Each structure stands twice: as C-alpha cells, then as structure tokens.
Amino acid sequence: MDQARYYMGIALEEAQKAFDRGEVPVGAVVVRGDNIIGRGHNLVETAKDPTAHAEILAIRQAADTLGGWRLNGCDLYVTVEPCAMCAGAVILSRISRLFIGTPDPKAGACFSVNDLVTDSRLNHQVELSAGILEEECRQLMRQFFRQLRQ
C-alpha cells in the first residue's frame, strides 16, 4: 500500500500542474516495475483537444517509452476515476492494474456509472484498487470547482 500511496502522490503532483493551468485537476502516472514511464495531467483547455485527458497523455507517453502499444505489466495511477474514453484506453492498452484516488459519481466508468475495466465481456479486464489518497484527491477537485464558481 505504501507503493500505491507513493505513486498516487506523484499523480497528485501532476493534478496540481493541471490545477495551476486552470485545467480540471486530474493527474496520472504509468509505472512499470519501479519506473515511471508515462505522466500526464489534463490539458483539454490548453490543447483545445477533448481527448487530452491525463490518462490518455500518460498512456501515450508510456507507449512511446516502451516502443509499443501493449502496456502489459504496467500500472496506472490516476487521481480521479476515469471516464468512458479513458477506461476504454486503459483496456485497449492492456494496463494490468488501475489505482484510483477518488470516485467520479457523474462520469466514472470503472465503478461509479459503468464498470468497463472489469467487464468480463471485454477481451481484457483490469485489476482495480480505489481510495488511494482519496481525501487529498477529492479536496483538490473541490478546491478547483469552488474557485471556478467564484
């Protein structure tokens, strides 16, 4: 569990980068063994790209680092439960384990609204752990949306 908290802390640092840019503060890191091979934070507004989610950017960087799209044996740490697009990318990239900070009760596609990553009808299922640094991840989101409303 200490390892999960450590890497989620790094994902939170990525989320803070998004927050500082005025982006929804979601951060993600892809880990293989003891090495971070991909990092990302939301850049939707900055890039004017609806697919520039933290998870997508981290997965792209990891695939580039490994020189291939199959991320078997890799773990993804993300501060907020992935949406359907990102959950699909997790499945398609063959991520082995997914660690989530806080749920997304409105758009989460891993256990809140849908259960895509564990759906046995799909060709790949992902081992799922949630609630890693949950309060810290939730607070960053709350702070962002509180500021946005003001």
Determine the Cα–Cα distance for residues 31 and 65; give it in Å rounded to an integer.
Answer: 11
Determine the Cα–Cα distance for residues 60 and 44; give it in Å rounded to an integer.
Answer: 15
Q: Contact at 8 Å (CB) between 4 and 99?
A: yes
Name the catalytic one among 14, 23, 45, 55.
55
**CB neighbours of residue 145 within 10 Å:** 12
- Where are the extended beta strands (E) located within 92-147? 97-102, 127-130
**55 labelled catalytic:** yes
Catalytic residues: 55
